[in-house]
Amino acid sequence: MRLILAIAMLLLGVPAWAHKPSDSLLSLTVQHDRIEGRWDIALRDLDDAIGLDADGDGAITWGEIRSTHDNITAYAFSRLTITSGEMRCTAQAPRHMIDNHTDGAYAVLLFTMTCPTAIKALRADYRLLFDLDAQHKGLLRLTHGQDTTTAIFSQESPTHLFTLGEISMWRQAQQYTHEGVWHIWLGYDHVLFLLALLLPAVLRRTEGRWNPAPDFWSAFLEVLAIVTAFTIAHSITLGLATLGLIALPSRLVESAIAASVVFAGISNVYPGLAQRRQLVAFLFGLIHGFGFASVLSDLGLPRGSLVLSLVSFNVGVEAGQLAIVAMFLPLAYGLRKSWAYQRLVLVSGSLGIAALASTWLIERAFDLKLIPL
Amino acid sequence: MIGIPTLGRLVATGWLVLSAPSVTFGEPFLPQLDGQVLERLPVKATDPVARELKSLRASLLHDPQNVNVAVSLATKLIEQSRSEGDPRFLGQAQAVLVPWLNQGTPPSSAILLRAMIRQHAHEFDLALADLDAVLNLQPANAQAWLTRASIYQVQGQYEDARRACQPLLRLAGRHVALTCLGDIAGLTGQATISRQMLTASLERAGISTRERLWILIILAEMAARTGDAKAAEKHFLDAQSLGVKDHYLLSAYADFLLDQGRAQAVVTLLQHETRADGLLLRLTLAEQALHLPASNGHIAELTARFAASRERGTRVHVREEARFTLALLHDPQTALTLAQANWEIQKEPWDARLLLETALAAESHPAVMLVITWLHTNHVEDMRLQQLLAQFQEGKS
């Protein structure tokens, strides 16, 4: 043993590390019998384990990584075993991406795992890189409903066992209601459609021109009729689509929703187009229901409590919608006699809505991006 | 007229949200071009070091029972970790030794390397236990004695450190033993005689560049502690002129320059040293002193690095984090907690200084008393510490 080494290592008061030691970051989100996973593994570590730098020039390119995606997948998943009960969960082929961390670029593996039964107790066994780097660690973040747990895998403790608390029915209903409210508030197409239909509700069309509704009660009934028709219609299709009884291609649905907003906007300028707005609300409401259904399926539906989630999501949508109407009606009623409301808001506002929705329609129908997103 | 703005806002909000930039930190991305370089490896496959490591790995694969090959490979990896400033090589060295370390009685050469790896992970007690085991088997192992002395010194156990230096008089070159002892003597109230002794050591023929660097750094820090800025500067410059790139030297010199109020010199010294956390910290301190805009980006970068290090659950960076939290985040309470945690692990003059500085900033007198007791027990000689204490006494009276 050379003493030179000893001297070189004597002065250690300052951590001179330019890097941190090797870590991988694993995030698992458990939903019923499914696990959504994200796994970030340093490119340097993968290079040590399976060799990424094919041309040996010390630079790892995206092309070199892409050509080893299958090897990366095979290597990583042979070293991670997730079991639910006694049965092993299987991962589908992951999507490969890249992310930059404080100590360099990482391969990002995005995957879905399916377990044979609903996950009550989850056992994770992690063996990545321990044979090459005894100080490697796997940092795990496990999410289940609102609960997040973290754990660290190391050579000394490669296995962790987690018992997942039951998510109560009430809690689940709350979550889906919340999602429903936010979806209607952030789904501008639904809001604009509803607003376009409601704008003339505080007015009456007589002798080819708009006049203010005579009293609040009649305006209220008009709004109620439109909102009810829209609600009934989209509830029907939301239910049918969620239960899997009808399926429509999402591009068609999204385009039709945009078209409905265009139509609603234009019909305020040419009132002859839609004399019975309840009917318009109902017919197009059927289409909007399919849109809600696709959101709900993106949220993931627990098999055990499908109906509960469906109903609570719909309750959330209606609550969000009611809040919008409750803000709209007094305002519009108060302003209904003004010239500005009848001309500017109704005509220009409706045309603006129609114009915006037209760009959506073109984007969705032709799969273009006109508005940078 | 409220209807128009309401509708306008709705539409405007829609447009705003729709056109909001989709760049969020931590979002993974798909590179667009195959030729895009995503990562540069610290060593190319064609570098001599890489070839040497590769051939050692091949020999080990060929002869997996051969402890000598494994020890050579692990030693090479530890050296590599030092020169690259990269702890990954330490983990790799440890992994190479695992088959022998798992044996009932591991060979002492493997235990010695594990001790050094543990020393670097600041697992001092485990490292000392390993060294005890080595010295039980090989009482004449100079490196084990030297490493033991260095750990005791970092822990502030100067009597134990001195005892570990003594066998080196027989087992290693006289100058090695004298430097080992001189370093401790300089800390514990005998700086003058120690400086004379070490300066004399430098004149010896046949000392290696590494050893010269070691002695010069000790001399420079000792001169700085006793307030002899001129001599400190000269030793630091002599050490730099040796042409060996050493992270410890850079950070010690930067600390000296910062204390001298020469922030611009620190920026010049460290402007390209943003990879090593300890050096980036000192660069940022200098940038802050000069009110340079670059400090904001560097503070964010350091915050992210300390967070990443914390997530891992290791405590190698506590001293730097305490200093960062006090001087750059201006959070004395958190800094004090960190400085106290650091004090549990290591007790070098800088650790005492940080504890004092944070304790003064957070107005925690019990923490100050801890340092005072320690200083008096060990007769530690350090001008900065004395100044800080004087400041504390003034505040009290």
Point out the residue among A59, A97, A341 whose CB comes nearest to the CB of B37.
A59
pLDDT (mean) for A253-276: 84
- Overall pTM > 0.90: no
Chain A residues near residue B313 by CB distance under 8 angstroms: 137, 152
What is d(CA B151, CA B149) in angstroms, rounded to the nearest whole number? Answer: 6
Contact criterion met (CB < 8 Å) for A7 and B278: no
Cβ count near B329 (within 10 Å): 15
Contact criterion met (CB < 8 Å) for B28 and A97: yes
Helix (H) or strand (E) holding A148: strand A147-153
Q: How far is A196 from chain B (nearest CA, A)?
A: 10
- φ/ψ region of B79 (left if φ > 0, alpha if ψ in -120 to 50, else beta) reads alpha
Q: How far is A100 from chain B (nearest CA, A)?
A: 7
* Nearest partner of B324 among B298, B360, B344, B290, judged by Cα: B298
Alpha-carbon distances, residue A284 vs A14, B240, B269 (angstroms): 68, 78, 69
Using CA coordinates, name the residue in chain A closest to B316: A15
Contact criterion met (CB < 8 Å) for B45 and A58: yes
Amino acid letter, A228: T
Q: Indicate the angle between helix axes B88-101 and B108-120, nearest 10 degrees.
A: 150
Alpha-carbon distances, residue B256 vs A24, A34, B193, B353 (angstroms): 37, 57, 22, 14
pLDDT-based confidence at residue B252 (cuts at 50, 70, 90): very high
Amino acid letter, B338: L
pLDDT (mean) for A225-236: 90
pLDDT-based confidence at residue B397 (cuts at 50, 70, 90): low
Say if A354 is an interface residue toward chain B (CB within 8 Å).
no
Which residues, 6+ apart, have CB-to-CB distance to A183 below 8 Å? A292, A295, A316, A317, A320
Q: What tens digit of pLDDT does each residue of A304-317 get?
A: 667 787 888 888 88
B38 by DSSP, 3-state: which? strand
What is d(CA A265, CA B135) in angstroms, rounded to the nearest whole number? Answer: 88
Amino acid letter, A58: G
ipTM of the complex model:
0.74
* Nearest partner of B150 among B25, B248, B76, judged by Cα: B248
Q: What tens digit of pLDDT does each residue of B20-44 get?
A: 222 233 788 999 999 999 998 877 7
Backbone phi and psi for residue A26, each to the nearest 5 degrees, phi listed first = -120, 125
Amino acid letter, A326: A
Q: Which of A2, A17, A210, A343 to mutate: most B Cβ within 10 Å?
A: A17
Chain A residues near residue B64 by CB distance under 8 angstroms: none
DSSP code at position A349: I
Alpha-carbon distances, residue B38 vs A107, A128, A344, B85, B277 (angstroms): 10, 22, 54, 21, 21
What is the structure's pLDDT at A373? 42
Point out the residue among A20, A61, A341 whose CB comes nearest to the CB of B308.
A20
Contact criterion met (CB < 8 Å) for B87 and A1: no
Alpha-carbon distances, residue B360 vs A278, A286, A292 (angstroms): 73, 70, 60
* Nearest partner of B246 among B89, B82, B116, B49, judged by Cα: B82
Cβ count near A167 (within 10 Å): 18
Q: How far is A182 from chain B (nearest CA, A)?
A: 14
Backbone phi and psi for residue A148, each to the nearest 5 degrees, phi listed first = -125, 130
Structure tokens at B255: 């600390």
Q: What tens digit of pLDDT does each residue of A110-151 get?
A: 999 998 888 888 899 999 999 999 989 898 888 887 777 888
pLDDT-based confidence at residue A222 (cuts at 50, 70, 90): confident
According to DSSP, the β-strands at A104-114 and A95-101 are: antiparallel
What is d(CA B353, CA B387) in angstroms, rounded to the nearest whole number? Answer: 10
Chain A residues near residue B146 by CB distance under 8 angstroms: 3, 6-7, 10
Q: How far is B397 from chain A (nearest CA, A)?
A: 35
Which residues, 6+ apart, have CB-to-CB distance to A27 below 8 Å? A37, A38, A39, A140, A141, A142, A143
Q: What tens digit of pLDDT does each residue of A178-197 get?
A: 888 888 887 778 888 888 88
pLDDT (mean) for B300-326: 85
What is d(CA B137, CA B115) in angstroms, rounded to the nearest whole number? Answer: 15
Residues 156-195 of A with CB under 8 A from B: 186, 188, 191-192, 195
Q: What tens digit of pLDDT does each residue of A320-360 get?
A: 888 988 888 888 888 888 888 888 888 888 888 898 888 88
Chain A residues near residue B29 by CB distance under 8 angstroms: 97-99
* Nearest partner of A150 among A165, A163, A140, A162, judged by Cα: A140
